[in-house]
Every structure is written in C-alpha cells, then in structure tokens.
C-alpha cells in the first residue's frame, strides 16, 4: 500500500463493510481533525473514535461511495456517499447524501470534513 489510491481503496473497503471504527484506527493520524458541516471540529484520533462508537450505538449505517476523486499530488480525497441510516431505537430509516473532503499526510488522514443536509425519512 504505497500510493494514496491504494490507501483510499483500503479505507473504502472498510467503511463500506461496516468497519468504520477499524478504518479510523488504521487511517486517522493521532492529531486528526474531524468536522461535521460547520460544527466545532473533534480533534484527536481517540476522541473521533469515541464519538463514532457513540453514534454507532444509536444508528446503523450503510453507505455506498457514488463518486470519488483522488489528488495524489496534493494528497486530497473527495468522496460522495449515499447513506441509509437506521435508528436502532425505533428502526426508522433515513437517507442522506454526504460529501467528505480528506486531507492526507504521511499516509494518514490529517483532516476530514463532511458536508450534508439533514437526513430524510425513507
């Protein structure tokens, strides 16, 4: 796994197979900065993983990558996802599209920002 494309493909394989936490453990830098829309960023790999585990305790998530652009020179990845979100409390289904912009450095994700609107009921 020497190129950014190889690393991104491995990351994608994990997140599309319900292994998001494992993907974060393997590909987030220790000082990663994760931001949802314009909310205050979560800083630090362990803080991001703790947050993700909390959310996955409330929601099931199935996602498909519909488009992706990888800029090897600038180490930036743009991804579009279609997401089906299941509330574990009442099994209600929601749908959302989301854009992720990742800044990679030294083979790891240094920054990731998500852009999306509210999820819509299915």
User: 70-82 pLDDT, tens per residue?
Assistant: 999 999 999 999 9
Domain locations along the chain: 4-121
Give the model's pLDDT for residue 1: 59
Q: How confident is the model at residue 2 (pLDDT cuts 50, 70, 90)?
A: confident
User: 40-50 pLDDT, tens per residue?
Assistant: 999 999 999 99
What CATH number labels 4-121? 3.10.450.50
- Spatial neighbors of 101 by CB under 8 A, at least 6 apart, are 76, 77, 78, 112, 113, 115
Give the model's pLDDT for residue 122: 84
Q: Residue 40, Cα to own-chain centre: how many angstroms?
A: 16
Give the model's pLDDT for residue 96: 96
User: 7-53 pLDDT, tens per residue?
Assistant: 999 999 999 999 999 999 999 999 999 999 999 999 999 999 999 99
Give the model's pLDDT for residue 68: 98
The CA distance from 75 to 81, in Å, is 20
Give the model's pLDDT for residue 119: 87
């Amino acid at each position: 796994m020497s190129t950014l494309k190889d690393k991104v493909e491995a990351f994608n394989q994990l997140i599309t197979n319900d292994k998001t936490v494992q993907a974060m453990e393997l590909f987030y830098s220790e000082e990663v900065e994760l931001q949802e829309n314009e909310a205050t960023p979560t800083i630090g790999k362990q803080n991001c993983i703790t947050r993700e585990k909390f959310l996955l305790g409330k929601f099931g998530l199935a996602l498909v990558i519909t488009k992706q652009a990888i800029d090897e020179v600038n180490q930036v990845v743009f991804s579009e996802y279609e997401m089906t979100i299941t509330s574990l409390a009442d099994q209600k289904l929601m749908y959302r599209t989301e854009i992720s912009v990742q800044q990679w450095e030294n083979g790891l994700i240094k920054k990731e920002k998500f852009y999306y609107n509210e999820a819509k009921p299915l």
